[in-house]
Amino acid sequence: MKKILEQLTKITDLTILFATIFVFLAYITPEGASQDSLREARTNAQSVTASLSNAENQTAASNTRLQETTNISNDLRNSIVQLETESSSLDPTIDQARINQLNSEIDQLNTSLANSTSAVNEAQLALNSSLRNEESLRASLRSSQARLADIEAESSRAISWIQPVRNNTDRLIDAAGVDGFIAGFAALIFCLIIKRRRDWFRRMFGLYFK
């Protein structure tokens, strides 16, 4: 029975020793980023990428709309110039009816041109807004990608197999408090020292161990 107790004591001592070593290694090595942080960073980068793709499509659509309205305005201007040229070449004493008709058509084209000019201005504003939004999303994407790269680099520097020791120790500290954890850990180390230095303690302090 005594030999069994001695063996159990040795096993306990080794357990305390290895636990101390593992905890020490866990806290001197870089802390790995949590999987939640990594997933969040990846999700954020993917979300910004999708938003940027939509913004690029919106910018392309705004640019197409601007080109279309600009072409319409140019066609209207050309038509007005042609009608004005034709009207100026007619003799008012002979072709007054035609001149009146041309002037009526010119007035209608001027009204259409004013509306088209407003559409051009709106399309230009929409394009400028899309470009600003796209640039903002590009900046957000660069920031998200940099953040993701930092987290991945942090995870690569960490020793994966030692991280559960750190995580479990942190949970124990959260449950017992820092002071309680330190006191408990110090007590274990003290017990180990006493077992290994029983005679020295007896000589120095006159302690009696049964």
What are the sequence ranges of the domains in the chain? 1-32+159-210, 34-157
CATH architecture of 34-157: Orthogonal Bundle (1.10)
pLDDT single digits (tens) 138-147? 999 999 989 8
In this structure, what token pair is assigned to residue 101? 């008709």
Q: How many whole angstroms separate alpha carbon 109 and alpha carbon 112?
A: 5
Say whether pTM exceeds 0.75: no
How far apart (Å, rounded) are the C-alpha atoms in residues 40 and 144? 10
- Tell me which amino acid residue 109 is: L
As a whole number, mean pLDDT of residues 150-155 equals 75
pLDDT reported for residue 179 = 52
Q: What is the pLDDT of residues 99-141, one digit of tens each?
A: 888 889 889 999 999 999 999 999 999 999 999 999 999 999 9
| pLDDT score at 151 | 77
The first and second tokens of residue 15, run together, are 């357990």
| Per-residue pLDDT at 131 | 93
User: Under DSSP, is residue 28 helix (H, G, I), strand (E, B) or coil?
Assistant: helix
- Per the model's pLDDT, the better-predicted residue between 131 and 39 turns out to be 131
pLDDT at 210 (0 to 100): 47
Give percent of the chain with pLDDT exceeding 90. 33
Q: Is the pLDDT of residue 168 over 70?
A: no
Phi, psi angle pair for 97, to nearest 5°: -65, -40
Q: Measuring CA to CA, which residue among 112, 123, 141 is closest to residue 54?
A: 141
- CB within 8 A of 105, min separation 6: which ones? 83
Distance separating alpha carbons of residues 92 and 148, to the nearest angstrom = 77
Phi and psi of 142, rounded to 5°? -60, -40
Query: Helices 96-157 and 35-89 sit at what angle, rounded to 10 degrees?
Result: 170
What pLDDT, on a 0 to 100 scale, did the predictor assign at position 133? 93
